Amino acid sequence: MYRIVKKEMLTDTIFLMEIEAPRVAKSALPGQFVIVKNSDKGERIPLTICDYDENKGTVTIVTQAIGKSTMELMTYKEGDHICDFVGPLGRPSDLCDMSEDELKKKHIIFVAGGVGAAPVYPQVKWLKNRGIDSDVIIGARTKDLIILEDEMSEVAKNLYISTDDGTYGYNGRVTDLLKELVEKQGRNYDHAVVIGPMIMMKFTSMMTKELNIHTIVSMNPIMVDGTGMCGACRVTVGSEVKFACVDGPEFDGHLINYDEAMRRQAMYKTEEGQAKLRYEEGATHKNGGCGCGGDR
C-alpha cells in the first residue's frame, strides 16, 4: 500500500498527489511513468511522473478525473492508501542521455498543453539542477485550466502562458505563440519537447518542422495497460511499429503518424473497435510485454 502524503486540487477536475513510494523515487528519471491501481481489482492507470524526491521517498503525479477510476482516485484524501504504485516504467527522456556539454549547446523549448505541464515540469527541473536553461510555453483553453505555473516559473528561464480564449497571457494557441517567439522575437531554438493532447502535439510538430526545430513528443495519452500487451499504444514512427509504454513514451514528433494514432485511440474505446484493430494489425497489434519487475 502507498500512502498519499499530499493532495492538492489544481482545477475542478485536475488534482496533484504526492505518494510515498521510496523505491520508485530512488530510480525515477524525467519522462518515465507509473501504473496506479486504486484497489486490488481496480483498473491500471498509467500516469507520467510529475516530480520525485529521493530524500523524502515520494513521487508526485497529476491526474485529470475523466473516467471512473480517475474520478474515484480524486475522492482519496491525504493519509489514504493506494493499492499499487508500480514504476518507474518507460524510457527516460532523451535529454538524460546527453552530456552536460551537449545540453549546454542546445536551445531548448518545452511546449505543454493542459495536463502536459505535469510531465514537462520534471524535465525542466532536471535541466535547471544541472545549470541548463530552457524556455517553457504552457497553454490551455482558458485561464482556469493553467496548472503548475508557479512551480514552472521557478525552474524555467522564460515562462510563457497562452490561452485559446485570451483570458490569460498570450491570446492564441501554443503554435501561434511559438511562431511569434521565433519569427518576431528572434528566439532561436533547436530542440523542442512537446507534451499535451494528441491534436495539439500534431499541429505543434507541424509548426516545429516548418521552423526546423528537432521535436520530441510524449505518447503517454494513448497508453492503457503500460506493458504493451493490450495494443492500445501501438504507434507508427517513420516506417516502424512502436509501443509507447515499452519503446517510449517519447518519440521523434516529426515521424509520428498522428492521424493513425488518433483513429486507433477512438476505435479502442469500443470492444468492436478493439476486435477490428486486432484483425487488421495481426501480429503487430501488441507487444510481448516489458518484462519489468515493477517496484521491486
Helix axes 198-210, 174-183, angle to 10 degrees: 20
User: What's the confidence (pLDDT) of residue 287?
Assistant: 53
Please give the Cα distance from 146 to 133 (Å, whole number). 22
In this prediction the pTM is 0.83
Integer CA distances (angstroms), 229 to 122, 190, 198, 245, 278, in order? 28, 35, 22, 10, 12
Q: What percent of the chain has pLDDT over 70?
A: 85
Q: Which long-range contacts (CB under 8 A, 24 or more apart) does 209-212 make?
A: 209/254, 211/178, 211/179, 211/182
Location of C-alpha cell 502536459: 116
Domain architecture of the chain: domains with CATH? 2-87 (2.40.30.10), 99-218 (3.40.50.80), 219-288 (no CATH)
pLDDT at 279: 41
Pair 207, 194: CB distance under 8 Å:
no
Give dist(CA 254, CA 190) in Å, integer. Answer: 14
* Contact predicate 228/245, CB 8 Å: yes
Query: Pairing state of beta strands 33-37 and 14-20?
Result: unpaired
Question: By the 8 A CB rule, do 22 and 57 touch?
Answer: yes
Q: List the chain residues with pLDDT less than 70.
A: 221-232, 264-296
Q: Facing residues of 4 across strands?
A: 19
